[in-house]
Structure 1
Amino acid sequence: MYTQEAIALRCALDHLAGWDLPGKEHIEEYVRHMYRRNFRPRTYASALKAIYDFLIVVRDSGKNYLEEITKKDIEAFIEHEQDRCMMLSTVRTRLHCVNAFLGYAMDAGIVKPDVLARRIRLRKPETLPRAMDPDDVKQLLSVIDNPRDRAMIMVLLRTGMRIGELLSTKMLDLHIKDRRVDIYESAKSRVGRVVYLSDDAMGALKVWIAMRDVRNEFLFYAQGRKNMSYSTAHLIFVRCLTTAGLTHKGYSLHALRHTFASELLNAGMRIECLQPLMGHTSLDVTRRYARLTDKVREEEYFRAMTIIERGEIDGHYRFDHQLQAFLEKKELLSQYR
């Protein structure tokens, strides 16, 4: 008779066998380590799911071995979780699972010690995606005098780039004449997307570029460093919020991405056009990002109702069997999640 723990171990190992990700053999050792320490069966599933998603991010960055993992991979994983609009408490739990695994791998001499040095702490929980209020955006921009910081904030606000994407951007990726930035998902595949630069973002960038160190290959960097870390960018943003008197609003760097999406949607951009700019594979994720204001929603209602009242809707409604089958399937699947 097998115990629940033994059954959970076997299920976890069977699940792991189907993976095609970096360091699978080390993950198996870690799972057995959890079993020896009498972890609860539910812990196996939650830990494996978090580790799996983390290693997907690592693999997509072009890395094939755990030895190649850096702190930037953890930062990229956090952004990946934020992109899915998870509650911060959930992100913290999943990050804890990843850090526990990396700690085990570090003790085994697989992962470099500096990966977990000065761990990233997630603060100010927020259950829903939140864009900055337009007046708060104006207030924030009015207090940023440092050319580098202003350019960084403006580019994030006008392109919707993830902070990790911006910090990885090199001068070769910036095309001033075409007013665009090329973003690559992987240094090896060179596959990614293009974002565009507005007039105010271009203006801020030109001021920064005129005074930056031309020997540095990265667009943004910290003093005495080749590039800028996530922690440094976070501290810059917090300092700007403090100067603007906005610390009580609970804004994060990621709020700039939400602001970009919401402002474009409310300015009339179709969500299908917004999706590729955001780099989302799913339109549902873009919908969660971009929030219509009450005024735009009201205007859209009366615009549509005017067409209805004039009797200008052409054609007849038909029962769509394919759509009905799809909805029924989706409802059935949701019962098992």
Structure 2
Amino acid sequence: MSDLAISPAARAALAEWLSHLRALDGRAQKTIDAYATDVRGWLAFLSNHRGGTEGLRALAEVPVSDLRAWMAHERARGVQPRSVARALSAVKGFTAWLSDRQGGDATAVLSARAPRFQKKLPRPLTVEGAADVLDSVGDDAREPWIAARDTAVVTLLYGCGLRISEALGLTGADHPLPEVLRIRGKGGKERLVPALPVAREAVARYVALCPFDLASDGALFRGARGGALNPRIIAAAMERTRNRLGLPATATPHALRHSFATHLLGAGGDLRSIQELLGHASLSTTQAYTAVDAARLMEVYARAHPRAAG
């Protein structure tokens, strides 16, 4: 639906809300962009559904029937339940903010339930699989420094639980790696992450072989021509490695972060500590790993328990 269906007042309110999220909530730009798309879609639908643009107060007091009609419309055009739930969260945030400023009653929107969907569990590698990746990810590299670079990056993902964006966001000033890294994650939130000796050594080896000048204000990890390393290069290296090792398609760079958390939990780590290491804003996000651990436990039980076979 076209933005032309949205009133100038609603467009201005949306822009102000997005600015508020950037300035005060510290949301990541990708999140801001997704919220903008979701709320624009909602406003355009509402205008078409009601046959005209709405005043701001009316937008803050939308009945639940209109909200259900919008969600049904989204599902009918093929939007998955998970995406509808995300869009509803954005609409709720915008409506609550608008209600505070216009004095409307947003109860109907804020109490609306999102469609149910099956949450995807993280798909970690086995301990042996993760070790094999770290040992062989550089085997296909054209030059020794590139092999050392790829090994250093995946070691940071698995050894420190970093997101690929966080690992590639390190600069020359971060070398040599300290025993504790200060990582700026999603939404600009900082956390402290211990850097294992194996990770510090892998990065040191890469730096020693790298042919480029690693300025303190430049990217630590470089591409073949000297620019900042593109995450797709690491994804491609992981793809070649998993094909060579016979690992599943779920063995991606992000799976190494999942593996970090799952293996820590399996070794007795507590959820709160793992939450802090991963930089999750909510413990509920980290709790997904308990489901992974429980699922693996049941698989072992089914295979090994004398009574399991009947």
**Category of TM-score, reference length = shorter chain:** 0.5 to 0.7
C-alpha root-mean-square deviation of aligned residues, in Å? 4.5
Match of 2:201 in 1: 203
For normalisation by structure 2, the TM-score amounts to 0.55
Give the TM-score normalised by the residue count of structure 1.
0.51
Q: Is the partner of 2:181 in helix, strand or coil?
A: strand
Cα deviation per residue 1:258-295 (whole Å; 9 max; x = unaligned)?
A: 10111111111111111111011111111114532568
Map residues 241-252 of structure 1 onto 2, 5 A cutoff: 241-246=242-247, 248-252=248-252
Q: Any conservation in 2 of the 1:148–1:208 contact (CA below 8 Å)?
A: yes
The residue matched to 2:243 in structure 1 has which SS?
A: helix
Q: Per-residue deviation at 1:213?
A: 3.6
Q: CA deviation at 1:296?
A: 6.9
How far, CA to CA, are the matches of 1:260 and 1:185 in structure 2?
17
Percent identity of paired positions between Structure 1 and Structure 2: 25
- SS at structure 2 position matched to 1:194: strand
Q: Distance in 1 between matches of 2:296 and 2:185?
A: 36
Q: C-alpha offsets along residues 75-98 of structure 1, whole Å, 9 cap, x if unaligned?
A: xxxxxxxxxxxx89849x98xxxx
Q: Does 1:158 align with 2:193?
A: no
1:133 pairs with one of 121, 126, 139: 126
Q: Write out aligned runs for 1:231-250 (5 A).
A: 231-246=232-247, 248-250=248-250
Which residue in 1 is equivalent to 2:93?
Answer: none
Residue in 2 aligned with 1:194? 192
Give me the whole-angstrom Cα distance separating, in 2, the residues matched to 1:197 and 1:297. 33
Structure 1: runs of 5+ lacking an equivalent: 42-86, 95-125, 299-337
Contact 2:242 2:249 in 1 (8 A): no
The answer to whether the Cα contact below 8 Å between 2:137 and 2:237 also exists between their aligned partners in 1 is no
Q: In the TM superposition, what are the counterparts of 1:277-316 in structure 2 within 5 Å? A: 277-289=277-289, 291-292=292-293
Residue 55 (structure 1) aligns with? none
1:142 and 1:212 map into 2 onto residues whose CA distance is 19
8 A Cα contact 1:173 1:183, kept in partner: no
> Does 2:169 align with 1:168?
yes
Paired AA for residue 184 in structure 1 = R
* Amino acid aligned to 2:150: D
Preserved CA contact (<8 Å) 1:88 1:127: no
Q: Distance in 1 between matches of 2:196 and 2:17?
A: 42
Kindly provide the amino acid, as one letter, of the partner of residue 153 in structure 2. M
- How far has the Cα of 1:163 moved from its partner? 0.6
Deviation string, structure 1 residues 201-221 (Cα, Å, up to 9, x no partner)? 233222212112451332211
Mapping 1:19-38, distance limit 5 Å: 19-21=17-19, 31=40, 35=44
Rounded Cα–Cα distance in structure 2 between residues aligned with 1:282 and 1:18: 26
